[in-house]
Amino acid sequence: MRHWLVLAWRYMIFHRSKSILLIAAITLTLFLPITVYRVVRDYERSLMARAVATPLLVGAKGSRFDLALHALYFRGRVPDTLTMADSDAITASGLAVPTPLHVRFSAEGFPIVGTTLEYFEKRRLEVRAGSRPLRLGDCVVGSRVASSLGLGPGDRLRSDPENVFDLAGQYPLDMRVTGVLATTDSPDDTAVFVDCKTAWILEGLGHGHQDLESADDSVVLGRTEEGVVANAALAQYTIVTDENVDSFHFHGEPGDFPITAIVAWPHDAKSETLLRGRYLEGEAVTQALVPVAVVEELFGLVFRIKKFFDAQAGFVALSTIFFLILVILLSLRLRLDERRTMHKIGCSRVTVFWLHAFELGIVFAISIALAVSAALAATSQAPRLLAWLMTRDPS
């Protein structure tokens, strides 16, 4: 058997071009399905882990899928908003700890998530460097945001304008980075976290002004005993500093300020049932949903479609196998004279058979090894790919 293996290997080395083509064809045929299967499996696990770790979501009435994708993965937008009064009502009920979310803006393409400190505790987010937001205009960034943009504590990050053609709109906010979160392999790695009040500044509900008492005449229309009247040249701050933070104020009641979703953390199963029941009474304009059920339903729809792609991949693999069989048969026919020579020098039919079998065995062994190695190398980058996918907003 050792001699057959040596002869088969010598033959492959001599006909290296044909051997390389066969190995490449089989490697690609095996590599694609293995890689796709592993990436899809890791993607499903990642999405499900996020849903399992989230007991309850509350949002405006509308698509359950939109609310789940928005609140869990910071993707897309919900059709309507809630108010902080909805979050306060959950707190007052004593059934759960609410963590409001305000996800409408972005910075360098990464979602800006306005929330409270309870979110960090419930998600078990640890600060790898620096600290959590300390005041208005501060932010803490996920690990992948920090690595992609080269950010660290003390750096600054500017929010993206909603509409560059809206000259009368809010100016981007120049935020101070106070910390970088530890890696969690979740959507939190690709988010920029701020306090809800900072998110409301982005909404235009709060702003700061220059000190009019010391302002020059270019921004003052007139001065009276009752006060100072400013003109349109009065600048609204787009950066919060220790010097001007006291000038920032909000117009309206905080309970009326918008949030896009609420992650509710019930104290126990009974509290969860009671809280869900409150959103089923009457004609409520809000809804409560269990993320696991919604994500499983979403996967059910997605994987129905995936079956068609799996069938297509199966047909492609089958056609490749037929092609390989054809190549092998043609190769055997072309080697007819070679087999006659081997018979004349004393080789039996069994010996010739095993020589060809060992050749194919070596080809398949090398192909399988290359396909598995390439698949492992490709899927080792799956977390980075999944993080990139989760940051892309299809809208």
In tens, the pLDDT along 162-186 reads: 765 554 446 788 899 999 999 988 8
Which percentage of the chain shows pLDDT scores above 90? Answer: 30
pLDDT by residue (tens digit) across 272-291? 989 888 887 656 688 899 99
Alpha carbon distance, N-terminus to C-terminus of the chain: 62
pLDDT of amino acid 210: 55
pTM: 0.72
pLDDT by residue (tens digit) across 80-92? 889 999 999 999 9
pLDDT of amino acid 168: 45
Distance CA 177, CA 150 (A): 11
pLDDT of amino acid 394: 41
Distance CA 152, CA 136 (A): 18
pLDDT by residue (tens digit) across 342-359? 777 777 777 777 777 888
pLDDT of amino acid 125: 93
Run of H or E residues at 378: helix 349-379
Cβ–Cβ < 8 Å for 152, 141: no
Cβ neighbours for 64, distance < 8 A, ≥ 6 positions apart? 287, 289, 294
pLDDT by residue (tens digit) across 374-392? 888 877 766 666 555 554 5
CB-side neighbour CA atoms (13 Å) of 72: 24
Alpha-carbon dihedral sign for residues 36, 38, 41, 45: negative
Run of H or E residues at 128: strand 127-130
